[in-house]
Amino acid sequence: MGKIIAIANQKGGVGKTTTAINLAASLAVLEKKVLIIDADPQANTTSGLNFSPTEGSHRTLYEILIGSIKAGDALVQTEIANLHLIPSHINLVGAEIELVKAPARESILREALQDLKEDYDFIIIDCSPSLGLITVNSLAASNSVIIPVQPEYFALEGLGKLLQTIRLVQNRINPDLTIEGFVVTMFDGRTKAHAQVVAELREHFGDMVFNTIIQRNIRLSEAPSHGVPIILYDVMCNGAANYLTLAKELLEKNI
């Protein structure tokens, strides 16, 4: 049965979608069967994997959440053999309103994924940069959370609200939810402040911080505009090496 991992941080610009795409792709290259779900109305994961659903195509997370299709009907094959995608669309914004009065509204995604869990080793959910109903659904459906953290002091300040939301989900909806770990992104080894923030993060959270650090990398930022993960865009760059190492570390934690 597949492990469901949410990639979450309500602060934008911390490398959340980059981590979701490239961790999922790296796991797939390491011969794991992986599904990535784009749970962000901005649909950056969808476009970053070279897919653009048109409105009315009925093949996105929105249609799953409102109950018009089953999750399996929205699966898209990506350019990596072991990696499937459930895409997003801007109409996902409307789901926040449409689900308000739905019964068990926080658990709709969890129920929708029950039939797919057996088919994958990992299901990665790219959450939106907010703490709304779609993100709560993603956390309710997940076994664990990976939290990307940019090594800036303001980024650390924003963690409190996210951790509070995770605790609320644990207490009320999903008591088995755990924090898989914090992953440092956009790290610049030449910047003393970055090293200080990483040290502070490790001091506060200890072993919950992944050993792997994602370095700031131009090729990594270029890959989404070409619609491919970094491992297909430039397998020799630091970004590809970092995410492969992160995937291996995740696998070691889940032996």
d(CA 151, CA 203): 14
Please tell me the predicted confidence (pLDDT) of residue 250: 98
- The kind and range of the H/E element at 42 are none
Please tell me the predicted confidence (pLDDT) of residue 209: 96
Please tell me the predicted confidence (pLDDT) of residue 56: 59
Per-residue DSSP letter, 79: S
| Look-up of token digits 């990535």 | 36
Of 147, 168, 143, 167, nearest to 156 by C-alpha is 147
Query: Tokens for 198?
Result: 């990483």
CATH topology of domain 3-253: Rossmann fold (3.40.50)
Please list the ranges in the chain whose pLDDT falls under 70: 1, 54-58
Of 29, 3, 13, 1, nearest to 143 by C-alpha is 3
Q: Is residue 40 classed as helix, strand or coil in its secondary structure?
A: coil
Boundaries of every domain in the chain: 3-253
